[in-house]
């Protein structure tokens, strides 16, 4: 089973299409929607975990891109500023997916972007403000 967290940015011309249903029916994929902001006749954003056999996953992603949907690994939208992070570990306590964890014995905070669900809990928990979510909010209006 292959699984990744993805952000999908929808152009306004296809927000009313049954895209998630097609991923299930045509490509035998399963999904878990983690966050979505999609309005009729407006562009939208969806964060989801997409799972299935790797070949089906790749076909499904090609299908999405063919529709004009911008598909990105969710880790591309979440950034940590290494220069201001002082490795306190506060973010690791709130991370529900284990994307942020402490590497022992070094006591270094590691950020695994493949596990990140973009829940944004780390952003408010970080006293140094080293975590940022880079969603393009202008797409939603």
**Which tokens in the block code for residue 86?**
């002082």
pLDDT band at residue 137 using 50, 70 and 90 as cut-offs: very low
Tell me how far apart the 2 most distant CA atoms of the chain are, in Å: 52
Which tens digits make up the pLDDT trace of 53-109?
Answer: 999 999 999 999 999 999 987 755 678 899 999 999 999 999 988 999 999 999 999
The answer on pLDDT for 41 being more than 80 is no
Phi (first) and psi of residue 139, to 5 degrees: -70, -20
Tell me which CATH homologous superfamily contains domain 2-74: ACT domain (3.30.70.260)
The answer on pLDDT for 37 being more than 60 is yes
Structurally, at CATH architecture level, domain 76-140 sits in: 2-Layer Sandwich (3.30)
**Which tokens in the block code for residue 131?**
């975590």
Measured CA distances, 123 to 21, 86, 88, 100 (Å): 32, 14, 14, 12
Same fold, 2-74 and 76-140: yes
User: Whole-number mean pLDDT of the chain?
Assistant: 86
Secondary structure (3-state) at 81:
coil
Domain boundary assignment for the chain? 2-74, 76-140
Task: Indicate the pTM of the whole model.
Answer: 0.61
């Amino acid at each position: 089973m292959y699984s990744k967290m993805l952000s999908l940015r929808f152009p306004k011309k296809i927000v009313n299409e049954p895209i998630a249903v097609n991923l299930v029916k045509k490509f035998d994929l399963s999904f878990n929607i983690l966050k979505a902001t999609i309005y009729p006749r407006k562009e939208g954003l969806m964060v989801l975990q997409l799972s299935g056999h790797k070949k089906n996953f790749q076909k499904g992603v090609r299908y999405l891109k063919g529709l004009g949907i911008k598909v990105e690994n969710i880790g591309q939208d979440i950034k940590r500023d290494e220069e201001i992070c002082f490795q306190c570990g506060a973010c690791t306590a709130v991370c529900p997916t284990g994307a942020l964890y402490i590497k022992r014995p070094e006591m270094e905070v590691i950020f695994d972007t493949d596990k990140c669900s973009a829940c944004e809990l780390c952003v408010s928990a970080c006293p140094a403000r080293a975590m940022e979510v880079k969603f393009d909010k202008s797409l939603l209006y």
